[in-house]
Amino acid sequence: MKTSTLRRCLLCLLLHVLVSLAQGLDSKPCHKQDHDSTIQILHVHSPCSPFQPPSPPSSWEESVLQMQSEDQARLIYLSSLVAGKSILPVASGRQIIQSPTYIVMVKVGTPPQTMFMAMDTSNDAAWVPCSDCVGCASALFAANKSTTFRTAGCQAPLCKQVPSSTCSGSSCSFNMTYGGSTLSAALSFDTVTLAKDAVPGYAFGCVQRITGSSLPPQGLLGLGRGPMSLLSQTPNLYQSTFSYCLPNFRSLNFSGSLKLGPTAQPKTIRFTPLLRNPRRSTFYYVNMIGIRVGRRVVNILPSALAFNPATGAGTIFDSGTVFTRLVEPAYNAVRDEVRRRMGNATVSSLGGFDTCYSVPMTAVPTVVFMFEGLNMTLAQDNFLIHSTATKITCLAMAAAPDGVNSVLNVIASMQQQDHRILFDVPNSRLGVARELCTY
Ligand SMILES: *[C@@H]1O[C@H](CO)[C@@H](O)[C@H](O)[C@H]1NC(C)=O
Ligand SMILES: *[C@@H]1O[C@H](CO)[C@@H](O)[C@H](O)[C@H]1NC(C)=O
Ligand SMILES: *[C@@H]1O[C@H](CO)[C@@H](O)[C@H](O)[C@H]1NC(C)=O
Ligand SMILES: *[C@@H]1O[C@H](CO)[C@@H](O)[C@H](O)[C@H]1NC(C)=O
Ligand SMILES: *[C@@H]1O[C@H](CO)[C@@H](O)[C@H](O)[C@H]1NC(C)=O
């Protein structure tokens, strides 16, 4: 396929890939040998992923709408976390269903059992479904086959850090919600192998019961910055630093990389300070100070972007949301400038996207997220979503959905694709460099 064809098509490739799946996995370069401290990142629906959508979307529009509804659920969930409530009051009947976007292969136990865990920068805990789990769907971790597995006693210091922990027998259990689901897990320890690094005594939840259906089927790897997270458990090995490059949907092999530790970062990387919110210790907040559309800095009141530890307002980088969400005044300013540049071309909408055109959007060459010390320039691939079939192009960002009083700006994965994003906690900075994500 020609690059020019690919460039215009975000999702035709997904369909192409699903078709090739039927022709056999063997020819695909799956399960690359991990090297050093670098792990392959797969899109959950990549041909190398064990998870496939139950029924492939019948059209481009349908797949966009599906991604939007999952995103909406993600935003509601993130907003509930910043608000410090387990469930946010939202319009009745709204289901919170979210599926993971990116997965990584992690080996758990001795001998190692392979699990494809969802990567989540906005969560701290790690958990895997265990063999005796009630309600779990997919491949399960057989704790009794691992010689290094043990459960945590009620006196374990970590037992005080996990959410709503209880003593069942003499072992420490906890419940937590994820999206619209609830899980009960035994706080456990085992050796976890990431790329070639064995991490002995890693603390995670061995899931025993779930209710709801929105949990990543083979577990979650929390990459947040709070207690319990991978960073907090491996300070000597990785110096609380990691980076990732999220694969563009256009890349045939559909994989990116997660680099654990501070080494081998691009020379062109630029930094913005990471902000710490003691009340929401998980999140990677940064200070967004403006947004440029083409050459014009759009008119957004600083208060719409301001960081506020008390309310949780501000801007975060998140790996689990697909399309960037801005607070309403910020989104409206961006949208109005895009529409102004498009002149009198007819604007239409598609689901939650309200700025779509059936003519090329060449009048809007770039969008720049301006952070303190760093301008992140988005190429059209990072902010426009196209359909080759219907020739529709939409601005791939939105305001919070109706009824969700979100104070968060969420820089999402489509906008991060083909950039290396470095999370450097000891130096309190987040780095961004343009990079073609391949692995
Ligand atoms: C391990 O646990 C599973 C599920 O609880 C059980 O079916 C199996 O017999 C156990 N295996 C051993 C070796 O204990
Ligand atoms: C955790 O959930 C289980 C049901 O799955 C329930 O029996 C138990 O009381 C819950 N524990 C806490 C601390 O909420
Ligand atoms: C996909 O992976 C194979 C094997 O590593 C490589 O030869 C090929 O160039 C890759 N294709 C793309 C589009 O990255
Ligand atoms: C707007 O419409 C007018 C009349 O149809 C046309 O002459 C003009 O070129 C259009 N402007 C742009 C920017 O497309
Ligand atoms: C970012 O862009 C703005 C507006 O174009 C410019 O004034 C500013 O100096 C740039 N900041 C950095 C860190 O390059």
Nearest CA to ligand 1 atom 8: 144
* 190 flagged as catalytic: no
Nearest CA to ligand 1 atom 9: 144
Which residues 6+ apart lie within 8 Å of 306 measured at CB?
313, 314
Longest dimension (CA), the chain: 70
Best CA proximity match to 40, nearest among 317, 202, 259? 259
* 318 flagged as catalytic: yes
Return the CATH number of the domain spanning residue range 29-53+99-259.
2.40.70.10
At residue 151, the pLDDT reads: 94
How far, in Å, are 186, 218, 264 from residue 209 at the CA level?
10, 14, 40
Ligand 3 centroid to residue 253 C-alpha, Å? 6
At residue 89, the pLDDT reads: 40
At residue 182, the pLDDT reads: 86
Nearest CA to ligand 2 atom 13: 164
Q: Does the beta carbon of 375 sit less than 6 angstroms from any atom of ligand 5? A: yes
Q: Does the beta carbon of 144 sit less than 6 angstroms from any atom of ligand 1? A: yes
Query: For the chain, which residues make up each domain, given as ranges?
Result: 29-53+99-259, 264-434
At residue 81, the pLDDT reads: 80
At residue 29, the pLDDT reads: 61
Ligand 1 centroid to residue 144 C-alpha, Å? 6
Q: Which residues pair with 166 in a beta bridge?
A: 173
Query: Over its length of 439 residues, how does the chain's per-residue pLDDT go in tens digits?
Result: 344 333 334 443 343 333 333 333 334 467 666 678 899 998 888 888 888 776 777 777 777 787 887 888 888 888 878 776 654 444 333 444 556 689 999 999 999 999 999 999 999 989 999 998 998 876 799 999 999 999 999 998 889 888 788 888 889 999 988 877 889 999 999 999 999 999 999 999 999 999 876 688 899 999 999 888 999 999 999 999 999 999 886 654 568 899 999 988 888 999 999 999 988 889 999 999 999 999 999 999 999 999 999 988 999 999 988 899 999 999 999 999 999 999 999 999 998 899 999 999 999 999 999 999 999 999 999 999 988 778 899 999 999 877 677 889 999 999 999 999 999 999 999 999 999 887 7
CATH 3.40.640.10 is right for the domain spanning 264-434: no
- Report CA Rg, the chain: 21
Q: Which residues pair with 255 in a beta bridge?
A: 42
Q: Indicate if 264-434 has the same CATH topology as 29-53+99-259.
A: yes
